[in-house]
Amino acid sequence: MSFLDRFRDTSPKSASLAKERLKIIVAHERKTRNAPAYLPALQRDLLAAINKYVDIDMDQLQVNISEEDNQSILELNLTLPPK
Amino acid sequence: MAEIIVVTSGKGGVGKTTTSAALSMGLAQAGKKTVVIDFDIGLRNLDLIMNCERRVVFDFVNVIQGDSNLSQALIKDKRCENLYILPASQTRDKDALTIEGVEKILNELSDSFDYIICDSPAGIEHGAQMALYFADTAIVVTNPEVSSVRDSDRILGILQSKSRRAEAGIEPVKEKLLLTRYNPTRVEKGEMLSVDDVLEILAIPLLGVIPEDESVLKSSNEGKPVILEEKSLAGQSYSDSVQRFLGAELEHRFLDGEKKGFLKRVFGG
Ligand SMILES: Nc1ncnc2c1ncn2[C@@H]1O[C@H](COP(=O)(O)OP(=O)(O)O)[C@@H](O)[C@H]1O
Ligand SMILES: [Mg+2]
């Protein structure tokens, strides 16, 4: 670290960045924790199908399965890239 | 009936063994009959921290496999008469631990002890699951650092789904957070997650905060649980945590960094 660097504020502070990243990943993992075992494979296949038409990354496709009153809901959330 | 406590974390190197040694010594000093079991099969270390490595004759796996009985394998601590250690074996066969084998030993210990502390290996596989399976209480050891917090959350998930209590559908394992290797000065600079940050994410009750402290290394060199270093910050915080575990209401200490003067702040200290 140079002498002048000590005067500079390096915001955003790395701890708050760590916290934001943790909130997201932990929430995601809690959701998938109770999901059926086939979910990751389903997600991969869906991604492959979508990628035939548009180019997206794994994290642009969210697949959730939730249970409500005796029925399961499969929810897809897809962010398309800007045109 | 003993209370079974697992000291767990997911991630390695966060302070589980340091904590198991301190907690078991603290409970024993408080007059509770305590036994601490090393579940880290193949990588035994608790014996070194407890300074009994030269007294190990039989181990946990020997007892499970019927090569020795429990009383031959238990090592009595020389500093505190209420404390016993059951060392892990150095065999490479991690699957030597079975639910039935562990249960038999815990049942036998349960008759004569108040507390059974299980020092978990790292990871979330077989060994870690064996260590937590029978727990009544889990002490989740976490460092203020992203990978440790995430792994702790995964261990909480396992406690809530794969423990005996979860499988039996009875009252869940009590979860307590022990935040260790905490550096208040770095927290104040915004370089390290704070207690509140970690509590907000993991959302379990806080047992204690153990500062990063050089005396931990020193006491491990000497084979002395750091709680016996009564003047050290880590020793005092472990001691507070034991009192809290036993029901005392104590303020958390050592959460503030050294207040630095202007020059020190500018030029580093
Ligand atoms: N509060 C602390 N301050 C400084 N060093 C610590 C502290 N707690 C643990 N350590 C060090 O961290 C390392 C890992 O600790 P250990 O208890 O063996 O972790 P684990 O059992 O989770 O793998 C050891 O070198 C130990 O001395
Ligand atoms: Mg260990």
For residues B211 and B198, give the distance between their C-alpha atoms in angstroms, rounded to a whole number: 15
Select from B223, B205, B215 the least CA-distant residue to B254: B215
- Which stretches of B134-191 are DSSP H helices? 146-162, 164-168, 184-188
- Ligand 1 site residues, Cβ closer than 6 angstroms: B 9, 12-18, 122, 180-181, 210, 212-213, 216-217, 220, 234
Rg (CA), chain A: 19
Q: For residue A11, what pLDDT is reported?
A: 55
Give long-range contacts, CB 8 A cutoff, 24+ apart: B183-186: B183/B144, B183/B211, B183/B212, B183/B257, B184/B211, B184/B254, B184/B255, B184/B256, B184/B257, B185/B257, B185/B258, B185/B260, B186/B257
Q: For residue B269, what pLDDT is reported?
A: 41
For residues A79 and A56, give the distance between their C-alpha atoms in angstroms, rounded to a whole number: 8
For B55-97, the DSSP string reads: G--S-HHHHHTTSS-HHHH-EE-SS-TTEEEEPPP--S-GGG-
Q: Do A29 and B150 touch (CB under 8 A)?
A: yes
On whether the CB atoms of residues B65 and B98 are closer than 8 A, the answer is no
Q: For residue B214, what pLDDT is reported?
A: 96
Rg (CA), chain B: 18
User: Residue A12: which pLDDT band, with cuts at 50, 70 and 90?
Assistant: low
Length of chain B: 269
Q: For residue B59, what pLDDT is reported?
A: 92
Q: Is B161 on the interface with A (CB under 8 A)?
A: yes
For residues B79 and B250, give the distance between their C-alpha atoms in angstroms, rounded to a whole number: 26
Pairing of strands B83-86, B34-38: parallel
Q: Do A26 and B187 touch (CB under 8 A)?
A: no
Residues of chain B with pLDDT under 70: 92, 258-269
What does the pLDDT look like over A21-76, one tens digit per residue? 899 888 878 877 777 888 888 888 998 999 999 888 877 888 888 777 888 888 88
Q: For residue B16, what pLDDT is reported?
A: 98
On whether the CB atoms of residues A47 and A55 are closer than 8 A, the answer is no
Instruction: Give buried/exposed letters for B47-59 (b at 16+ CB in 10 A, else e).
Output: bebbbbeeebebb
Q: How far is the CA of B125 from the centre of ligand 1 (A)?
A: 21
Q: For residue B223, what pLDDT is reported?
A: 93
Model confidence, pTM: 0.87
Helix (H/G/I), strand (E/B), else coil: A3 = coil
For residues B164 and B158, give the distance between their C-alpha atoms in angstroms, rounded to a whole number: 11
What does the pLDDT look like over B132-164, one tens digit per residue? 999 999 999 999 999 999 999 999 999 999 999
Q: How far is the CA of B18 from the centre of ligand 2 (A)?
A: 7
On whether the CB atoms of residues B255 and B209 are closer than 8 A, the answer is yes
If you average pLDDT over every residue of chain A, what do you get? 80
Residue A53 C-alpha, separation from nearest chain B C-alpha, in angstroms: 35
Q: How many other β-carbons are positioned within 10 Å of the β-carbon of residue B124?
A: 19
Q: Do B157 and A29 touch (CB under 8 A)?
A: yes
DSSP bridge partners of B174: B137
- Cβ-count burial of B38 within 10 angstroms (0-12 exposed, 13-18 middle, 19+ buried)? buried
Q: For residue A80, what pLDDT is reported?
A: 85
Q: Which residue has tokens 């608790």? A: B46
